[in-house]
Structures are given as structure tokens and as C-alpha cells.
Copies of this chain bind each other. A is one copy, B any other.
Amino acid sequence: METSELLARAVAVLNANHGASMATIAQQIGISRATLNRRFASREDLLRQLGERASDRWERSLEIADADAAGASGDPARIERALHTLLREYVAEADEYGFALTDVFLEQVPELAGRSEELTRRETALLAAGQQAGLLRTDVPARWLSWSIFGQLVAARDAVRFGDLGRRGLENLVTTTLLEGIRRR
């Protein structure tokens, strides 16, 4: 099994059971403990690699959305496209994104915290550009908009994880709730 496939399966196991041991992870992936240990020196090493993978995905989402250039352009149509693309990518990656950001261990790995700060800065710059372009409300801080998106992604991940929602239609639920709120108009 390739490392990327192993990591994907390990995320699935850990999403269902955050405290899963290396033995449990190996068993649920369907490989021997020895094989898992040959790939990852320790549980910490596995978690660090998962954190790096999640950061890679997050960065890729910002790239796919053309976040930096769109934000710098000041062009409302371009910024709006970037925001929608970013949300779509985030929902697709909610498992990893949510896992990485809420996991106990990863928050405490300094190099990951630094990367997370930089990615947050880029995301927040796009959100601030969305405010300046008249797309997003300006009566709340751009940094809170970023937290709100994070919160809805955690909600989406856990709703799927607890079996309350399927993946179908999830992007629409997250996007519409986030953009329009839950009040009836």
C-alpha cells in the first residue's frame, strides 16, 4: 500500500475514533502492526505526517481557488469565484481539515502551527478582500469569518461522522447556512 493510501485510511480510522492506538489503526486498515511500524516510527510520527498532509490539502485548496491573486485583484467577480471554489474544496476535504485542526496532538507540533498560521493569513486576506469588494458583511472581523467557516466544516464533518447526514448535498448545506444564515426570510 502506498504511503498516501495508508495515510488516507488512517485518517478515516482516527476520525471515527480519535484515540485509536497504532494496533487499532493497523487492524482497521487491514495491515499488520509490524507493517504500520515500518512506515511510521511512532504514533506521533503518523500524526505529524497526517498534519502535514492536511496542511498540504489546505494549501492546495487555496491554490485551486486562486485565493492570493483573486484577493489582490480587488475584482468582485473574481473574488466571488475564489470564495465559492474555496468553500467547495474545503467541504470536500472536511474530514482532513477538521481532523487536523481539532486534533489534540497536531496543535502542539510547532512546525504545523507555523504553517497553519500562514495558511490562515492567506485565507483571511481573501475574506477581507471579499468584505472590501462588498460581497461579505463588514460588521464582523475577517478573522471571525474564517473561524465561522471552520466551525461549519467541523459541524459538517461530525454530522457525517455521527451518521446524521450523508455526503450528498453537504456542500450546499454548508455553503447556504454559512452565507445566508439559518433565519427564515
Residues on the B chain within 8 Å of A138, using CB: 184
Contact indicator A181/B184 (Cβ below 8 Å): no
Q: Does A72 contact B (CB under 8 A)?
A: no
Q: Main SS of chain A's interface residues?
A: helix
Given known A105-B19, A179-B181, A183-B136, contact A155–B159 (CB-CB < 8 A): no
A143 at the A/B interface (Cβ < 8 Å)?
yes
A159 to B143 CA separation, bound complex (whole angstroms): 9
Interface size on A, residues (CB 8 A): 44
Residue A153 CB within 8 A of the other chain = yes
Q: Can you list, as one digit per residue, whether each of A144-176 has a CB less than 8 Å from chain B (1) or not (0)?
A: 110110111111101100001100000001001
- Nearest chain B CB to A120 CB, angstrom units: 9
Query: Is A140's beta carbon under 8 Å from chain B?
Result: yes
Task: Kindly list chain B residues whose C-beta atoms are within 8 Å of the C-beta of A110.
Answer: none
B184 touching A140 by the CB < 8 A rule?
no
Chain multiplicity (copies): 2
Q: Which of B136, B148, B182 contacts A155 (CB 8 A)?
A: B148
A20 closest partner in B (C-beta): B104
Question: B151 touching A19 by the CB < 8 A rule?
Answer: no
Q: What are 26 A-B residue pairs whose CB atoms fall within 8 Å in the complex?
A: A17-B108, A19-B105, A102-B154, A134-B184, A136-B182, A137-B182, A137-B184, A140-B176, A140-B182, A141-B165, A144-B164, A144-B165, A145-B182, A147-B164, A147-B165, A150-B154, A151-B151, A151-B153, A151-B155, A151-B156, A152-B152, A154-B155, A178-B182, A179-B183, A180-B180, A180-B183
